[in-house]
Amino acid sequence: MLLIFIVFSLASQLSQAICECGYKTANGLLWTHTLNSDFTAPSMTNVTYSSFSSQWTISNWSNGNVAAGNRTVTIGRQFLPQNVYFQNKSLNLKVSAYTGRGKILCGEISTVRADILYGSFRSTFKVQPVSGACAGFFYYYVWINNNPELIGQNDTQEIDVEILTKDPTTRAVHYTQQPIVRGSQFTNVLPNPWTNFVRYRFDWLPKSSTFFADGQRERTIRVNTEHTPGTVKLNMWSNGNTLWSAGPPTQDAIMSVQNTCFFFNVSEDLKNLPTSEFNTACSAHRVPVCKVLD
């Protein structure tokens, strides 16, 4: 039986677009929405273009140093629009070379939508091997008023795919469902180095998240599964914490993103039709389900 988590609430909506009956992924799940960004396309050469800004926001926020006792544990970060730019047919997110003073300058983008609830999320990117930075691709809970000032304040509701450039190998990738407890985090070594373009994916379901790299299943985490709507982000950052990002880097550290491809549900769809009524409505309108190749 096809498992449908969320469906459209009104049958009249089903005829508005070619895929109004959803997107069926190879694992048999049906999703109601999609967000696709090809950052190699000519229409994606400037972050001010509507093809970009209609789907993504560029972070512009900062936080301060964190101290323990008489020492600084982490250095404050400042996410700046100028650290997000197009170059060499990629969207680049940059941690600027640290001068030794002030905050660490970082780059981040977030989906405009902050009501994403479960889905299959894919992105192809590579990371420069400049030690002292972290590249992230993740779900993040920012639903409360969607207030930009709250971004960065909640680190207990995340689904993370992260690369630490301090790692001794360029093949290690870290997967986490926050907060970190026994069974909520693991590290895998990839067949291909992350200095090459690798297609990362995580499938977020009500009871688990499963992670993939270049189509190969890495592992499933069933601890700390999220149940709240939020946003999906990509970023490149450092805060000098020796236990995670290390650094900060003394050279520019760059994450180059070629594309994103998301299939998902949203919180408003919780007012759903029963599966049988949804299927009947789709059949009546002769709208196909769009099949997604993994």
The model's pLDDT over 22-75, given as tens digits with 9 standing for 90+, comes to 898 988 898 988 999 999 998 888 998 888 999 999 999 999 888 766 677 899
With a pLDDT cut of 90, the percent of the chain lying above it is 64
Give the β-pairing of 77-79 and 84-87.
unpaired
Cα gap 58→31, rounded to integer Å = 26
Higher pLDDT, 286 or 190: 190
pLDDT for position 151: 46
**Which region holds residue 28: left if phi is over 0, alpha if psi is between -120 and 50, else beta?**
left
Residue whose C-alpha is closest to residue 117's, from 277, 226, 258: 226
* H or E element, residue 284: helix 275-285
pTM score of the predicted model: 0.87
User: Residue 271: how many CB atoms within 10 A of its CB?
Assistant: 11
Cα gap 121→27, rounded to integer Å = 14
| pLDDT averaged over every residue in the chain | 85
pLDDT for position 106: 98
Mean pLDDT confidence for 201-210: 96
pLDDT for position 280: 66
Structure token pair of residue 249: 């880097």
Give the range among 98-107, 248-257, 275-284 with minimum mean pLDDT.
Answer: 275-284
Backbone angles phi and psi of 277, in degrees to 5: -70, -35
Mean pLDDT confidence for 255-260: 98
How far, CA to CA in Å, does 42 sit from each of 38, 39, 47, 234, 259?
Answer: 9, 8, 12, 21, 13
Q: How confident is the model at residue 294 (pLDDT cuts 50, 70, 90)?
A: confident
Give the β-pairing of 134-140 and 158-164.
antiparallel
CATH, domain 36-267, list 2.60.120.200, 3.10.450.50, 3.40.50.720, 2.30.30.240: 2.60.120.200
Cα gap 114→129, rounded to integer Å = 31
| Sequence spans of domains, the chain | 36-267
